[in-house]
Amino acid sequence: MASKLLRAVILGPPGSGKGTVCQRIAQNFGLQHLSSGHFLRENLKANTEVGEMARQYLEKGLLVPDHVITRLMVSELELRSGQHWLLDGFPRTIVQAEALDKICDLDLVISLNIPFETLKDRLSRRWIHRPSGRVYNLDFNPPHVHGIDDITGEPLVQQEDDKPEAVAAKLRRYKDAAKPVIELYKSRGVLHQFSGTETNRIWPYVYTLFSNKITPIQSKEAY
């Protein structure tokens, strides 16, 4: 097995089970799970320069632009140049993908293809704990007590953009932005697409793919 550091990206629309797959990859293969959403929340909380830049857009209900997200993620990646990692939530656009190209070569890009109706159903069943970003789904990841975060006991909320009409618009936006990114990685031969409606059915194929690139740190597939 090569000793080269593994550089991987996971692409998938909101509600695709991307977070769950990332946790399993991190657990089984020892990759650092680097989530753009997590880093954004950390920088907002710490009032860093890049956090303040992002806040100006978020407070107006706008998407954080490419140059801000790219700056945030590139600085985080530079801190982890000696680690295997898995990127989640970045790159989302072709501009971000081109910026990532300048600092590293990717070994694996996973794209999760989940039917539109499945995503719509999942997302409208989603509740979040806003301070931590923890996500619950009433069908397959419900809180122990309805409406309450398992860890802090604080209330959960349903975001406006998790209502069905907003979900449909969000999924269309994702698809439009992701299409050229997917095409780029496909043309390079590093893209692996997985289709299905259940994370547990997709997972064994993802596990096998990673096993061919890096030795698992656990002898069995952890769920």
Query: What pLDDT digit, counting tens, does each position of 17-60 carry?
Result: 898 899 999 999 999 999 999 999 999 999 999 999 999 998 98
The pLDDT assigned to 220 comes to 54
| Domain extent at residue 194 | 7-212
Using an 8 Å Cβ cutoff, are 114 and 12 in contact? yes
Q: Is 17 annotated as a binding residue?
A: yes
Is the predicted pLDDT of residue 222 greater than 70, yes or no? no
Could you tell me the two tokens for 70? Answer: 């790219």
Residue 211 assigned ligand-binding role: no
**23 assigned ligand-binding residue:** no
Cβ neighbors of 31 (< 8 A, separation 6 or more) are 6, 8, 25, 83, 84, 85, 86, 214
What mean pLDDT is reported for the chain?
90
Q: Which of 87-91, 130-134, 166-170, 180-184 is the least confident region?
A: 166-170
Is there a domain that residue 88 lies in? yes
Residue 30 labelled as part of a binding site? no
Is 2 among the domain residues?
no
| 34: in domain | yes
Whether residue 126 is annotated as binding a ligand: the answer is yes
Confidence of residue 62 (pLDDT cuts 50, 70, 90): confident
The answer to whether 63 is annotated as binding is yes
pLDDT confidence band for 192 (50 / 70 / 90): very high
According to the model, what pLDDT value does residue 219 have? 55
pTM: 0.82
Residue with tokens 């991190």: 26
pLDDT above 90 covers a percentage of the chain that reads: 69
Q: Is residue 89 annotated as involved in ligand binding?
A: yes
Output the pLDDT for position 125. Answer: 85
Q: Is 206 annotated as a binding residue?
A: no
Digit-coded pLDDT (tens) for 117-153: 888 888 888 899 999 989 898 877 899 999 999 999 9
* 222 within domain boundaries: no
Token duo for residue 96: 């971000």
pLDDT of residue 221: 53
With bands split at pLDDT 50, 70 and 90, how would you rate the model's confidence at 1? very low
Residue 199 in marked binding region: yes
Nearest to 198 by CA among 125, 112, 103: 112
**Domain CATH code at residue 162:** 3.40.50.300
- Annotated binding residue 223: no
Beta bridge partners of 108: 8
The tally of domains found in the chain comes to 1
Any binding-site annotation on 16?
A: yes
* Two tokens, residue 196: 């299905």
Phi-psi region of 84 (alpha: psi -120 to 50; beta: other; left: phi over 0): beta
74 is in an annotated binding site: no
Residue 89 lies in a domain: yes
Residue (of 100, 96, 123) closest to 18 by Cα position? 123
**CA separation for the pair 120, 118 (Å, rounded):** 5
- What local confidence, expressed as pLDDT, does residue 122 receive? 80
| Residue 120 falls inside a structural domain | yes
Q: Is 64 annotated as a binding residue?
A: yes
Short-list 10, 212, 83, 211, CA closest to 220: 211
With respect to residue 41, please indicate whether it lies within any of the assigned structural domains. Answer: yes
Examine residue 1 and state whether it is found in any structural domain, yes or no: no
- In one letter, which amino acid is 94? I
The response to whether 51 counts as a known ligand-binding position is: no
Q: Edge-to-edge, what's the strand order for the sheet holding 7-11?
A: 32-35, 85-88, 7-11, 108-113, 191-195
